[in-house]
Amino acid sequence: MTKNLGDQPPDFGDTLLVGGDWTDVGQHWDDRENFVVLTLPAEYRKFARPSARPRAPAVAGNYRIKFKAEVLPLKDEVGGYRALFSHNVQFAQSQAPEHDRTSMRTLARVFPALATPKLPDTESVQLVNQTFVEEVLHFGVLDFGKGITAKANIAIWRERGTHHPLCGEFAYQAKFKRRDELHDKAIEHCRQFFIGLQQSGHDWLSLGTTKTGFVYRLKGNPPQSHE
């Protein structure tokens, strides 16, 4: 049947194959009486390039997908920078399934790309901020010209219980929707500021240190990054 589908009443035993965005598909996960939700085949996740794998979460409601470029000092010297790139997605916690939100089984269901690593369903994730208390001070906006501004903040991590300070981080973030919104002069101003900041405050720098990496090292499991 290819025409006038909306005017045709279904007969007993009829099956409709419905396709759509993951936002719409995810609304039918729990309606097992009327729907059988099909995910992408395992072979697709196994052989697809990371950029071709679905990044949209299987949740009902709105979400936002971001491509993030994080600029850090070099690991072994002052005055340079390295960039780490990642995709991430944001949505309200109320949109996530209620049952066992930290289990890999639940996370792979909500984030289809996480189904690629074949981990046992009994595996789970833990939040690093359960170990420390983070205090964030928002104190201004940096203007790099050509309409590019960045909100700046300082974050301090303190040990939970004793509140002993462990590490601090100065950061600023600029957001834009399209690459053509980012002017070359604004990029150069940002680069000069980032390098100049390192040179003027080199005595305070801990090269190669990140807050998350700091947590892993304290727990005896240093991050194994290969950039």
CA 125, 131, 133, 138 dihedral sign is negative
The conformation of residue 105, written as its DSSP 8-state character, comes to H
Chain mean pLDDT for the chain: 78
Residues in contact with 163: Cβ distance below 8 Å, sequence separation at least 6, in sequence order: 133
What local confidence, expressed as pLDDT, does residue 142 receive?
A: 95
What are the tens digits of pLDDT across the range 21-42?
Answer: 655 666 666 666 777 766 555 4
What local confidence, expressed as pLDDT, does residue 29 receive?
A: 62
Q: What is the pTM of this model?
A: 0.62
User: Is the pLDDT assigned to residue 44 strictly greater than 60?
Assistant: no
**What span, in angstroms and rounded, lies between the C-alpha atoms of 118 and 11?**
40
User: Is the pLDDT assigned to residue 65 strictly greater than 90?
Assistant: no
CA 120 to chain CA centroid, nearest Å: 22
Instruction: Indicate the pLDDT class of residue 6, thresholds 50, 70 and 90.
Output: low
CA 17 to chain CA centroid, nearest Å: 32
Over residues 48-70, mean pLDDT? 75
* The pair of three-digit structure tokens given for residue 174, joined into one six-digit string: 């600029």
Q: How many Å is the Cα radius of gyration of the chain?
A: 23
**What span, in angstroms and rounded, lies between the C-alpha atoms of 184 and 215?**
36
Q: Are 56 and 63 in contact (CB under 8 A)?
A: yes
Instruction: Indicate the pLDDT class of residue 49, thresholds 50, 70 and 90.
Output: low
What are the tens digits of pLDDT across the range 100-117?
Answer: 888 888 888 888 877 777
- H/E run at residue 213: helix 211-218
Element counts in the chain: helices (H) and strands (E): 5, 5
